[in-house]
A = this chain, B = another copy of it.
Amino acid sequence: MKNNKLVVVGTMAFDEISTPTAQSGKILGGAATYIGLAAAYSEADIAAVSVVGEDFPKEHLNLLTDRGIDISGVEQVRGGKSFYWKGKYHDNMNKRDTLDTQLNVLAEFNPIVPEKYRDAAVVMLGNLDPNVQQKVLDQLTPNPNRTVLLDTMNFWMDLQLPALLNEIKQVDIISINDEEAFQLSGETNLVLAAKTIHKMGPEYVIIKKGEHGALVFYKGDPFYAPALPLEKVVDPTGAGDSFAGGLSGYLAAQQSSTAHTIKEGVLHGTAAASLCVSAMGTAGLVESSKEDFLAQLQKLERLRTITT
């Protein structure tokens, strides 16, 4: 059935980020956080499914509820510590090193999709252990109009490839970056990589190229969504998640996943990512209004069109 419900599963975490010019300290992070905040620019009815420790401050959760996101699926583990990630960006901001990862409560994460959202028309599987992503799919009630999106990363290709491939088989849209597409497909050319990944299951293969934008591969002709050229990138953390959030939120709000809405959705994802990278951590999304988001969409339109 059609509805505007979006289930987002992913981490909610503490991040500690170093860029060449700034130190974040211990701040709010996590894929589900970025996805949820970005999706909230749309009129989707969003539920976050995640796990946090007792150390996770209420103010962080309030950032989600303030934007209308249902957090009844966010488990808070008594006595537990939240997932923690520490990373450092290189000079050009295109590469980063992970300095520390503490799974903490994430190690035992058993996702529970709230009853009300089990018929959701759109499900966004944020970067996570594919076995955990599968547990979310297993709880859903059948919906012939459902669109399932998957984000993942090289880490799971290295450690959980069979489970990941089984997951990829079940999704409609996969969103990964170029290097991950090469690793997953064994190809070194984007077009060939997309063809190989198509055969693994997803009808739509979206390849993110960071500052160079994203390509949507679907049947014959690809679609290119350029990224907005930015004078300043403060922190790239969460850009891919924000992209996934902007896209999945749009699809849920439109109650449609045609090629047309998916391409439009990719532009919404691009707009959200451009807001995300403009400040440290989630601040770019938290401090940007719906009007700011629409302004980015308009800039993107001008970037793409010839008539001025």
Contact = CB atoms under 8 A, between A and B. Distances in A.
A155 interface: no
Nearest to A92: B188
A221 B299 contact: yes
A142 interface: no
Contacts of A304: 223-224, 304
A302 B229 CA distance: 22
Contacts of A68: none
Interface string A224-237: 10100111100000
Which residue among A190, A192, A230, A306 has the maximum number of chain B CB atoms within 10 Å of its CB? A306
Contact of A306 (B191, B209, B263, B308): B263
A308 to B, nearest CB: 6
Contacts of A299: 221
Contacts of A92: 188
Contact of A190 (B188, B222, B223, B229): B229
A304 B222 CA distance: 9
A302 B221 contact: yes
A212 interface: yes
Interface string A282-308: 000000000000000001001111111
Interface residues of A, number: 32
Contact of A189 (B232, B260, B308): B232
A307 B226 CA distance: 16
Contact of A308 (B209, B212, B221, B303): B221
A308 B191 contact: no
B221 A306 contact: no
A264 B188 CA distance: 31
Contact of A231 (B189, B209, B221): B189
Given A221-B302, A221-B303, A260-B308, 9 more contacts: A209-B212, A221-B299, A222-B229, A223-B305, A223-B306, A224-B303, A226-B226, A260-B306, A264-B306
9 contacts: A189-B230, A213-B226, A215-B229, A221-B299, A222-B303, A223-B303, A224-B229, A226-B226, A259-B308
